[in-house]
Amino acid sequence: MSTATFETATPGRALRIGLWAAQILLAFAFIGAGLVKLTTPIPQLAAMMPWAGQYSETFVRSIALVDLAGGLGILLPALTRILPRLTVLAALGCSVLQVIALLFHLSRGEAEVTPLNVVLLVLSLFVLWGRNSKAPIAPRQF
């Protein structure tokens, strides 16, 4: 009698794939949001995000730069394997940013926009946990 064996993805491989997917989604979301906040004129941005018209342009553009840094930091160090621990720090920063964004929107009565913040927070915490302890990226050896 022959025994059929099925190869399945190991949990380690599935975790690594999930982490890369989360990192790509986070990079897309944060870089996209950063570019929109950085390049869109404030009156047009205020039509999409009412808070943008109620705060200084410097504040809005600063948030854009934080978004861009988070998006780049969550992906590039791991992808290039140059200082990949920066990905962990970027995930921590993105997590903190989303907690602040949640509190900000809730304080303004904008609960309808918070589901996106919750999703980004969960993904950021997943990357933080995964890249810090379960599937860290080894630095490139020069």
pLDDT of residue 3: 56
pLDDT of residue 71: 98
> Under a CB-based contact definition with an 8 Å cutoff, are residues 46 and 12 in contact?
no
pLDDT tens profile 16-62: 999 999 999 999 999 999 999 999 999 999 999 999 999 999 999 99
pTM of the model: 0.90
Work out the pLDDT band at 4, boundaries 50, 70, 90.
low
pLDDT tens profile 49-97: 999 999 999 999 999 999 999 999 999 999 999 999 999 999 999 999 9
